[in-house]
Every structure is written in C-alpha cells, then in structure tokens.
C-alpha cells in the first residue's frame, strides 16, 4: 500500500444562505486520506462534517480549495464523484417506499450495472448483511436500524473504490453493526476499498478507524490514529464520582475537588493527573466521604477526553453512545 | 491497520504532496434507457406501499364530481365536457399535484442526494418518475370515464382515445408537476403550486366553457390539461373531427416536451447546489 494516493487539500468555507449570518461551515480544511484506510471525521453537531462530505461527494461546490479523489479533480468535474465513490447519506427518503431488495437492485442499476449483475450483487449483499428475511419489505415499514442497514446494502451494490458513509450505524443493534464493519473490512481486504466515515460515536471511532480527524467549527483541530490522539492527553486520568444524594462538602478535600469537577446532577467528572487521581480516590473511598459515595470510576482518556482537551467549542463533549 | 504519524497540516499549508499520477478508473456511467427503466420500475412499485393516495383518492374525487354534476347538467354537449374533464382531472391530480409534492419533499429532505451521487442522467430520474406517475393515473381515468359515460348515457365506443390522452396529458402535467416540485424553494410551496394547478384543472376543465366569462376562457386555453379534455370530449360525437383531436393532442405533446425539459433542468439545478 502506497500512501497519499488521495489528497483533499484546502476545502474552503461555504457562504451561508442569504438571510442567515455568513457561516463558514468548512474553513480551510486540509486532509490527506490514504488508499485502503478507514478514515474518520469526528466532531460535534454543526462542526462542518456533513458540509465537508457534501463537498467531497460533488454535491456542494466549495468556494475555494480543491478536492482530489484517486487522481480526479472533483471540484472541476463533480460528476466524476458518482463514478468513483458510493455515498451513504443520512436520509433514506428516496428509497423509503421501495422494498429492501428493489432499493438495492435499483441503486445498482443506476450505478451502471446491467440487470443481471445488479441482481447478482443485490442477492450477494443482502445475504452478506443478513437482510434476507426482510428483503421483501418496504424500507418505510422497518425499524430505524434495519432501514439504515438496507440503505448501507444499497450503497454497496456496484463496487466503488471509495465509500463515504455518514453515520452508517445510527440506530443499529450490535449484530447489524458487526455486519456493517465485517462488510467494510471484507471490501478493504479484497479490493483495497477506502472508507471515509462520519461519526458521532466515540467508542465506534476508537475501534474501527485507522485514523481520525477531529473537526470543530469547520476546522481540523487534530488528525492522528485514535491511539496517537489519546497519547496527547495521556497525562490525564478521568475520575467520575457518583454521590448517593449530595456531595459531602463538609469534607474539606471534597470541597477542594468540587472546584475542578464538571457537575451533572449527582455525577462529578474530573480530569486529573494520575497522582492527584489516586489521592482523590483515596479521599472518597475512606472516611466520611465514603458513606456519601454511590459509585466511582477511574478511566484512561477516551477520544472524548481528547476532544475536550483540544478545546472543542462544545463543552459538553461528544455524544457517547 | 496502517498506523502512521499525525498528518495535521496547519491552515492553508500549500506543501501538499502531489497525488500519484495514475488516476483510478471511473466506474461506468448509467445509460439513459436502462436507468430510466430502473427508475420507472422503482417508482411504479411505490404504488404497493402508497396505494391509497396514488391510485384511489383521485378516482373517488372524480367519480364524486361526475355524480355531483349529474344533478346540474343534462345529457348532451355539456355532459361530454363534464365526463372528459373529470377523467382528465385524475391525471391532473396525480401527475401534477402528487408529483409536485413528491419532488418537493424529496428535495427538502435531501433525498435527491441519493440520485445525485449515482452516475445517472438527470433525464432518467425525471422521466422515470413522470412516467410512473402518468401510469398511476390509468386505472382512475378509465374508471371515471366508464362511470361517467354510463351515468350520462354517452357512447363508450371511442374510449380508446384515452390511450393517447393519458400519456400525452400525463407528460404535459407531470412535467409541470416535476418542474414545480423541483423549483419551489420550500416543500409547502411545491404542495401549494401542485394544488393550485389541480384546482385550475378542476374548475376550468370540468365546468362547461360556454358559461364562462372571456377572461376565464383565456385561462382555460392556457392550461395544458384543457387540450386533453377537449381531445377526449370531441370523440363523443357521431362524426368526430379527428384533425382537431390530433391538434389538441399535439399541444399536449408539445407542452410535455417543453415541461419535461424544464423539469430535467430544474433537477440538475436542485441536485447540485
């Protein structure tokens, strides 16, 4: 595998529509995704992930900058994007009233497959994702997760070297999630497929991604492997304390901790150096404070901590599913 | 797993390594007729899920109107325009009103992205959907026509003309519907435009034209569905003037070509913003 076969140099901001204040949804984003990589875009709502993806898929013309996918200039030839990549958007309204099997077949036909190939690929993908029992049902009548999986199936019919998936596993049960990632891995192993994944789900990001870019207010604030990103905040430990009713503020050590805690009801979250964390745990697990303690956890940093440490605007952090 | 060091490039750093020269092979383009057929088939299958709005509502409405008009109009020339008008009204309801709503909602919800990220010609999407909606009108139009003829005692012998009226009026009205749906900036406006078009077809098509003031007759002449209504109404006579029927149908066909071309242009515009 040779690196840098794909380049997404500066994709610049898009002006807001008239009547709303100018919004720079993407602001000089520069990313370089390698062939065969599962690359993630992580960020809070409104960070510019979807705008970036729409620019990459040729749906939205960037105001400035360039997008190059596998040697093709997508800003100059947006129509080529459809012939290089498969896109799974968040909306299924175009397929809602079709059966799972017809949605997959039609999508394959519109990707330029002839009837026989489209049907063969449809059957293979439906089988692979375990959709056979619901293949004859309309997407509209399925649960959110099943519908998502059916749309994912449609995205896979008519092999493409790049898959752009916008939150593919939203609403899915663990079995469906596993089917998605197994299908992605198989395509990567067999065809060297590259995957660009937009996600909110921090846990999923940590397990499936090769590299991840953290987006905030239209800018890339970090880009590395999940492990590499976590190393940036390896000096910190996250301590979570849950009190039975209320915190024993009469214990002086607890009162001191409060100043550094993010409070949410009975739950306190603290980010501390390892020795401070040890001291804090010793305090709350012994003496008067212990009686008021319901539960506590001590954890090494997650991608969520990385995001917060990098100074993301959304202080509440990412949605953790 | 390819573990590589961080690649964050600050701001607008221009020093990007150039991509490998060898560009990837592009996937095939979907050709017009096969993809049109695929869209048509997929759209047609939607009738299974949305049977009531797509097939039945318009029929009940038109049958109801013929019954209502039976109380107002005697047999004869006026009955002919009532039966022809309410039959073509099914086409206006489904192809103009419902298709406008469909495209308006598809556009607003981001559903067009699905088609826009597939290598499919815009004309295939528009013509496939328009064709399917025109097809949805066939059973309703026939039922209304037969029911109306029986109700008013009109001959059923030239009913076959509907096989020309439905596709041609269908093309004209579905083209207008698609264009309204794709051009309207908001889905409510698409619904409103479709509804207005349908109401116009109802008021100007079903009510006999002779009783209308001049200005309304002018509006009637501007509405493409009128020519479908007239073409059908003329065939009830003992010796229909086929040249005029043909001319009426020609107007429908002409409007159909233009409106479908506009709709295709509107689709292209709506799909890539």
My answer on whether A261 and A141 are in the same domain is no
Q: Percent of chain A, pLDDT > 90?
A: 38
> Hey, is A152 helix, strand or coil?
helix
Size of interface A-B (CB pairs under 8 A): 182
CA B123 to chain A, closest CA, distance in angstroms equals 12
Distance CA A35, CA A71 (A): 11
Interface test with B, best of A19, A81, A93 (most B CBs within 10 A): A93
Following DSSP, what letter does each residue of A50-65 receive, concatenated? Answer: HHHHHHHTTSS--SSB
| Position A9 pLDDT exceeds 60 | no
User: Looking at the domain assignment, is residue A37 inside a domain?
Assistant: yes
Measured from the Cβ of residue A252, the count of other Cβ atoms closer than 10 Å reads 9
- From B19, which residue of chain A is nearest by alpha-carbon distance? A5
My answer on whether A97 and A138 are in the same domain is yes
Residue corresponding to tokens 């599962």: A38
User: Looking at the domain assignment, is residue B15 inside a domain?
Assistant: no
User: Looking at the domain assignment, is residue B17 inside a domain?
Assistant: no
Residues 6+ apart with CB under 8 A from A178: none
User: Looking at the domain assignment, is residue A314 inside a domain?
Assistant: no
Domain that holds residue A220: 8-224
Asked if A5 lies within 8 A of B31 by C-beta distance, the reply is no
My answer on whether A115 and A255 are in the same domain is no
User: Looking at the domain assignment, is residue A290 inside a domain?
Assistant: yes
User: What local confidence, expressed as pLDDT, does residue A258 receive?
Assistant: 86
User: What local confidence, expressed as pLDDT, does residue B248 receive?
Assistant: 96
H or E segment to which residue B220 belongs: helix B214-222
User: Looking at the domain assignment, is residue A149 inside a domain?
Assistant: yes
Taking only the tens place, the pLDDT of each residue in A143-197 is 999 999 999 999 999 999 999 999 999 899 999 999 999 999 999 999 999 999 9
My answer on whether A22 and A163 are in the same domain is yes
Distance CA B100, CA A85 (A): 30
Taking only the tens place, the pLDDT of each residue in B119-152 is 999 999 999 999 999 999 999 999 999 999 999 9
Following DSSP, what letter does each residue of B67-90 receive, concatenated? Answer: HHHHTT--SSHHHHHHHHHHHHHH
Taking only the tens place, the pLDDT of each residue in B212-233 is 889 988 999 999 999 999 999 9
User: Looking at the domain assignment, is residue B20 inside a domain?
Assistant: no
Which chain A residues are closer than 8 Å to B29 by Cβ? 83, 112
Say yes or no: A36 contacts chain B, CB-CB below 8 A.
yes
Measure CB to CB from residue B16 to each of A7, A89, A141 and give the nearest one.
Answer: A7
Interface of B with A in 110-129 (CB under 8 A): 110-120, 124
Please list the alpha-helical segments (H only) found in chain A.
Answer: 49-56, 81-84, 100-110, 115-128, 144-156, 174-191, 202-208, 226-231, 252-258, 274-285, 287-292, 303-309
My answer on whether A46 and A78 are in the same domain is yes
My answer on whether A192 and A51 are in the same domain is yes
Taking only the tens place, the pLDDT of each residue in A80-122 is 999 999 999 988 899 999 999 999 999 999 999 999 999 999 9
> pLDDT band at A128, cuts 50/70/90?
very high
Measure CB to CB from residue A91 to each of B8, B24, B113 and give the nearest one.
Answer: B113
Q: CA A279, A283, A289: angle at the middle one, nearest 5?
A: 160
Domain count across chain B: 1
> Hey, is A276 helix, strand or coil?
helix
Domain count across chain A: 2
User: Please, are residues A230 and A303 in contact by the beta-carbon 8 Å criterion?
Assistant: yes
- From A151, which residue of chain B is nearest by alpha-carbon distance? B114
My answer on whether A246 and A219 are in the same domain is no
Q: Final residue of a domain: which of A224, A257, A282?
A: A224
User: Looking at the domain assignment, is residue B3 inside a domain?
Assistant: no
Q: Final residue of a domain: which of A224, A247, A278?
A: A224
- Which positions of chain B have pLDDT values less than 50? 1-21
User: What local confidence, expressed as pLDDT, does residue A286 receive?
Assistant: 80
User: Looking at the domain assignment, is residue B209 inside a domain?
Assistant: yes
Q: Which residues of A129-149 are buried (b: 16+ CB within 10 A; e: fewer)?
A: bebeebbebbbbebeebbbbb
My answer on whether A161 and A263 are in the same domain is no
User: What local confidence, expressed as pLDDT, does residue A145 receive?
Assistant: 94
User: Looking at the domain assignment, is residue B96 inside a domain?
Assistant: yes
My answer on whether A93 and A45 are in the same domain is yes
User: Please, are residues A280 and A296 in contact by the beta-carbon 8 Å criterion?
Assistant: no
Instruction: Name which of A208, A238, A209, A254 is nearest A308 in CA terms.
Output: A238
Maximum distance among all Cα pairs of chain A, rounded to whole angstroms: 75
Instruction: Name which of B44, B192, B67, B213 is nearest B131 in CA terms.
Output: B44
User: What local confidence, expressed as pLDDT, does residue B41 receive?
Assistant: 96
User: Looking at the domain assignment, is residue A193 inside a domain?
Assistant: yes
Mean pLDDT of chain A: 84
User: Looking at the domain assignment, is residue B127 inside a domain?
Assistant: yes
Please list the alpha-helical segments (H only) found in A48-173.
Answer: 49-56, 81-84, 100-110, 115-128, 144-156
User: Looking at the domain assignment, is residue A315 inside a domain?
Assistant: no
Token output for B76 = 């004869």
Domain that holds residue B257: 32-271
User: Looking at the domain assignment, is residue A41 inside a domain?
Assistant: yes
User: Please, are residues B88 and B201 in contact by the beta-carbon 8 Å criterion?
Assistant: yes
User: What local confidence, expressed as pLDDT, does residue B8 receive?
Assistant: 36
Distance CA A290, CA A247 (A): 10
Report the CATH number that the domain containing residue A29 is assigned in CATH: 3.40.50.300
pTM of this structure = 0.84
Instruction: Name which of A268, A264, A267, A242 is nearest A256 in CA terms.
Output: A268
My answer on whether A87 and A149 are in the same domain is yes
> What's the mean pLDDT in A304-315?
64
- Sign, CA torsion A99/A171/A89/A93: positive
User: What local confidence, expressed as pLDDT, does residue A12 receive?
Assistant: 52
CA A240 to chain B, closest CA, distance in angstroms equals 30
Please list the alpha-helical segments (H only) found in B96-186.
Answer: 99-109, 112-116, 122-152, 162-183
Pairing of strands A211-216, A219-224: antiparallel
User: Looking at the domain assignment, is residue B9 inside a domain?
Assistant: no
My answer on whether A189 and A251 are in the same domain is no
> pLDDT band at A68, cuts 50/70/90?
confident
- From A15, which residue of chain B is nearest by alpha-carbon distance? B273
Token output for B1 = 């797993």
Q: Percent of chain A, pLDDT > 70?
A: 88
User: Please, are residues A110 and A117 in contact by the beta-carbon 8 Å criterion?
Assistant: no
Say yes or no: A207 contacts chain B, CB-CB below 8 A.
no
My answer on whether A86 and A196 are in the same domain is yes
Interface test with B, best of A15, A33, A69, A82 (most B CBs within 10 A): A82
Residues 6+ apart with CB under 8 A from A263: none
B120 vs A238, which has greater pLDDT? B120
């Amino acid at each position: 595998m040779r690196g840098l076969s794909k380049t997404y140099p500066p994709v610049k901001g898009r002006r807001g529509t008239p009547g709303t204040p100018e919004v720079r949804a993407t602001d000089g984003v520069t990313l370089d995704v390698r062939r065969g990589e599962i690359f993630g875009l992580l960020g809070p709502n409104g960070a510019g992930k979807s705008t970036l993806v729409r620019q990459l898929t040729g749906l939205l013309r960037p105001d400035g900058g360039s997008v190059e996918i596998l040697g093709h200039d997508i800003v100059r030839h947006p129509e080529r994007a459809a012939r290089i990549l498969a896109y799974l958007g968040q909306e299924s309204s175009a397929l809602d009233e079709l059966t799972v099997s017809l949605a997959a077949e039609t999508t394959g036909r519109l990707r330029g497959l002839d009837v026989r190939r489209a049907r063969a690929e449809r059957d293979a993908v439906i089988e692979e994702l375990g959709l056979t029992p619901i293949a004859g049902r309309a997407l509209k009548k399925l649960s959110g997760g099943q519908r998502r999986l059916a749309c994912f199936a449609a995205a896979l019919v008519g092999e493409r070297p790049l898959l752009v998936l916008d939150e593919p596993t939203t609403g899915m049960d663990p079995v469906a999630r596993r089917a998605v990632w197994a299908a992605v891995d198989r395509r990567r192993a067999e065809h060297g497929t590259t995957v660009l994944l937009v996600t909110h789900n921090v846990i999923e990001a940590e397990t499936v991604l090769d590299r991840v870019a953290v987006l905030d207010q239209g800018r890339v604030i970090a880009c590395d492997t999940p492990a590499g990103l976590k190393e940036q905040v390896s000096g910190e430990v996250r301590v979570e304390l849950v009190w039975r009713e209320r915190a024993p503020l009469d214990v002086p050590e607890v009162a001191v901790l409060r100043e550094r805690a993010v409070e949410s009801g009975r739950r306190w979250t603290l980010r501390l150096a390892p020795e401070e964390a040890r001291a804090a745990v010793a305090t709350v697990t012994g003496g008067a404070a212990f009686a008021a303690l319901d539960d506590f956890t001590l954890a090494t940093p997650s991608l969520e901590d990385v995001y917060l440490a990098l100074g993301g605007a959304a202080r509440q952090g990412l949605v953790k599913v | 797993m390819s573990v590589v060091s961080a690649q964050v490039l600050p701001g607008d750093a221009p020093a990007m390594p150039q991509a490998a020269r060898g560009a990837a092979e592009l996937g095939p383009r979907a050709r017009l007729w096969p993809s049109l057929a695929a869209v048509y088939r997929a759209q047609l299958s939607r009738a299974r899920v949305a049977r009531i709005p797509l097939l039945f509502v318009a029929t009940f409405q038109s049958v109801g109107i013929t019954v209502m008009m039976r109380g107002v109009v005697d047999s004869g020339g006026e009955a002919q325009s009532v039966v022809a008008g309410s039959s073509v009204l099914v086409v206006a309801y489904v192809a103009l009103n419902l298709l406008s709503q469909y495209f308006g909602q598809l556009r607003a919800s981001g559903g067009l992205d699905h088609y826009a990220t597939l290598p499919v010609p815009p004309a295939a999407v528009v013509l496939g959907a328009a064709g399917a909606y025109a097809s949805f009108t066939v059973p309703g139009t026939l039922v209304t026509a037969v029911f109306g003829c029986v109700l008013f005692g009109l001959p059923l012998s030239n009913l076959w003309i509907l096989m020309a009226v439905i596709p041609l009026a269908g093309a004209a009205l579905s083209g207008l519907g698609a264009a309204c749906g794709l051009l309207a900036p908001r889905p409510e406006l698409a619904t409103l435009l479709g509804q207005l078009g349908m109401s116009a077809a109802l008021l100007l098509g079903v009510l006999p034209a002779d009783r209308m003031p001049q200005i309304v007759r002018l509006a009637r002449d501007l509405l493409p569905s009128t020519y479908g209504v007239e073409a059908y109404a003329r065939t009830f006579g003992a010796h229909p003037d086929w040249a005029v029927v043909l001319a009426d149908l020609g107007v429908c066909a002409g409007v159909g070509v233009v409106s479908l071309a506009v709709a295709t242009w509107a689709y292209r515009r709506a799909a890539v913003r």
